[in-house]
Amino acid sequence: MFLWLIPILPFLGFLINGLFGRRMPKSMVNLFAIGSVTLSFLWAVKTLVGLSPLETKYIEHYFTWIQSGALNISIDFAVDRLTAVMLMVVTGVGLLIHIYSIGYMADEDGYYRFFAYLNLFMFFMLVLVLAQNFLVLFVGWEGVGLCSYLLIGYYFLERFATNAGNKAFIVNRIGDFGFSLAIFLVVRQFGSLDFTKVFDAARPMPTETSAGILTTICLLLLVGAAGKSAQIPLYVWLPDAMAGPTPVSALIHAATMVTAGVYMTARSATLFTHAPIAMDTVAVIGLATAFFAATIGLAQTDIKKVFAYSTVSQLGYMFLGAGVGAFSAGIFHLMTHAFFKALLFLGAGAVIHGLHGEQDLRQMGGLFKHMRITAITLLCASIAISGFPFTSGFFSKDAILVAAYERAPWMYWVGVLTAGMTAFYVFRAWFLAFTGEYRGHAHPHESPLVMTGPLMLLAVLAIFGGFINVPHWLEPMFGERPENQTLAWLSAGVGVIGIATAYLFYVARPAMADGFAKAMNGLYTLVYNKYFVDEVYDAAVVTPVVKGSRIFLWRGVDAGFIDGIVNGFGARSRGVGNILKLLQSGNIRSYAAWVVLGSVLLLLAIGFGGATR
């Protein structure tokens, strides 16, 4: 079936664009970039059609990578139903975003570099999704982290962009450390990293009621997922990652890379279901993140930051779904989130592009008449994310919330409250941007078709995508999920209330918003400054590490110790030379004295050394 073609085609696009893109005209760069992703998408479709109905996992074995003692790790790609969903999301949404980028990045320097990195990202993400063992998944994991760093720092001449890229990579690294430890423990426990082997060995193991090896592995996997998918406490890189171009935010930080954590958790479902403590930790962290990020999103003024915190919040929902055992619901939400969040970001990008770089909501307003298509598509995304009845978000979010209710009712209520807040801040952004009078100074215009086309396609998917019955499709893997109509309609109702509140605050009575903010001044400041989490991290972790490195590691160890040893060798040699040079006094008579001394010593040796009878 040649599964390897699916990732390799974007990789070839990366090579060609990366090596030769500088000299190629834009049309050729487009051809290779879009063409490779299109071919990858089509090949994925063909593979899935050919493999349907995918009752069992289809594995392709390529070659052995590591053979060390009893440990045997090989490069394998595999397709099962979960992979199928991910493949469609990654290649499909990725393709739409690639097309959109042609319009968005048209005036940027380093056009070819953008597409090269984007293709490289597709390669690594597909490797991650197709992996059949933890180590190949980790390769994809690290690779997407690298591409994220490269793309966040795309405007590398801007300090804040490179800082954001560093922050993303370093915080991810902390998560990767947890992931690495989990991999080591898996090897130690199961002797292999292959998914089939590990999960078949784990299935008959007893469910752990207290902390045991499986719990430890799952908690460490959670650390890795928290880093990659921006959960508490490692979410701080995602809002800063908005420094990258908007298509990057859409593809990497909304639709695909950040979902890698959720995918990995769903893939390891067998391990998690055997460790209830870890599952509960996942659910609680997911819920807390969802709530926490939603509160921050209420007060942000940068449109991309609003959506960034929304992403963190929605990822929390996905982890909540995984944590209560509704893995299929979590994956379903992953898919629908890819649709509407990518649409939100791309729409925001169209607005920013139309306003020539303005991102502040307070400088927008009344853009509806200037950008109708953008406005309508963004409206579709907003109602989807709010869980308006029969949109995609409705089905996916309610699947999670219903499952949460089964686990613990309080989780359901917190989740519903968060859904209300989600609706509120999304529509706050929409109203502030598109209604009222224009408060800015630029000349807004609609975007070209190459950008609005993907918007329209994603809008259709956002509205109607819920009818793709992913949980049913994933049932053989994750089991049936309960349904509860009452709870579902209740959460949808809360969503509508949120929309209405936003309308009230920002359209009907605009002064109410300011009054409300002034009334709760302290709370507002706290939320507006994202609870000062970055400042706390800086003081508690970053500054001590930097200072400690500078003082101890750099000056002490490197300059003092290591340089001291190396320079010491030179100094020793010079010292010895200084002593030896005293022999060369130029005074012939001292030379003569040395000669006599030598002969005396020689005679001593002869006389007492036994050479004489």
Partner 1 sequence: MTALIFFLFASIAVFCGISLVTQTHPIASALSLIGVMGSLAILYLQLGGEFIAAAQVIVYAGAIMVLFVFVIMLLNAGAEGTSLQMSNFAKYVGIFLLAAFLGLISFVIQAMLPKTEGVVFGAFQGGTALNIGRKLFTIYLLPFEVTSVLILIAILGAMVLARREI
Partner 2 sequence: MPTSVPVSWYLILSAILFGLGVAGFIYRRNIITVFMSIELMLNAVNLTFITFSYTLKQVDGHIFSFFVMVVAAAEAAVGLAIILTVFKNRETLMIDDVSSMKY
**Binding stretches for partner 1 (CB under 8 A):** 585, 587, 589-590, 592-594, 596-597, 599-600, 603-604, 606-607, 612-613
Select from partner 1, partner 2, none the partner in contact with residue 612, using the beta carbon and a kind-dependent cut-off of 5 to 8 Å.
partner 1
Select from partner 1, partner 2, none the partner in contact with residue 584, using the beta carbon and a kind-dependent cut-off of 5 to 8 Å.
partner 2
Closest C-alpha to 396, from 381, 380, 385: 385
CB of 574 to partner 2, least distance (A): 13
* Segment 198 to 237, residues that bind partner 2, using CB under 8 A: none
Taking CB under 8 A as the rule, does residue 592 contact partner 2? yes
Helix 111-130 / helix 5-20 crossing angle, nearest 10 deg: 160
Contact in structure between 270 and 199 (CB atoms under 8 Å):
yes
Is the bond preceding residue 53 a cis peptide, omega within 30 degrees? yes
CB of 600 to partner 1, least distance (A): 6
Instruction: State how far the Cα of 308 lies from the Cα of 287, in Å rounded to an integer.
Output: 17
CB of 587 to partner 2, least distance (A): 5
Residue 610 is inside which H or E element, if any?
none
Instruction: State how far the Cα of 88 lies from the Cα of 106, in Å rounded to an integer.
Output: 27
What is the size of the binding site for partner 2 (CB under 8 A)?
A: 11
User: Would you state the torsion angle of the CA atoms of residues 341, 343, 346, 349, taken in this order, to the nearest 10 degrees?
Assistant: -80
CB of 559 to partner 2, least distance (A): 33
Select from partner 2, partner 1, none the partner in contact with residue 581, using the beta carbon and a kind-dependent cut-off of 5 to 8 Å.
partner 2
CB of 588 to partner 1, least distance (A): 10
Cβ distance to partner 1 smaller for residue 49 or 583: 583
CB of 607 to partner 2, least distance (A): 13
Cβ distance to partner 1 smaller for residue 541 or 593: 593
Cβ distance to partner 1 smaller for residue 511 or 588: 588
Cβ distance to partner 1 smaller for residue 512 or 603: 603
Select from partner 1, partner 2, none the partner in contact with residue 441, using the beta carbon and a kind-dependent cut-off of 5 to 8 Å.
none
Instruction: State how far the Cα of 30 lies from the Cα of 100, in Å rounded to an integer.
Output: 11
Cβ distance to partner 2 smaller for residue 25 or 607: 607
Instruction: State how far the Cα of 30 lies from the Cα of 95, in Å rounded to an integer.
Output: 12
Per-residue exposure over 383-413, b if at least 16 CB sit within 10 Å of its own CB, e if not: bbbbbbeebbbbbbbbbbbbbbbbbeeebbb
Select from partner 1, partner 2, none the partner in contact with residue 607, using the beta carbon and a kind-dependent cut-off of 5 to 8 Å.
partner 1
* Segment 529 to 588, residues that bind partner 2, using CB under 8 A: 581-582, 584-588
Per-residue exposure over 8-23, b if at least 16 CB sit within 10 Å of its own CB, e if not: bbbbbbbbbbbeebee
Please report, for residues 216, 256, 510, 521, the alpha-carbon distance to residue 513 in angstroms, rounded to integers and kept in the order given. 46, 35, 6, 12
Cβ distance to partner 1 smaller for residue 564 or 609: 609
The conformational region for residue 225 under phi > 0 = left, psi -120 to 50 = alpha, else beta, is: alpha
Residues that bind partner 2 (CB under 8 A): 581-582, 584-589, 592-593, 596
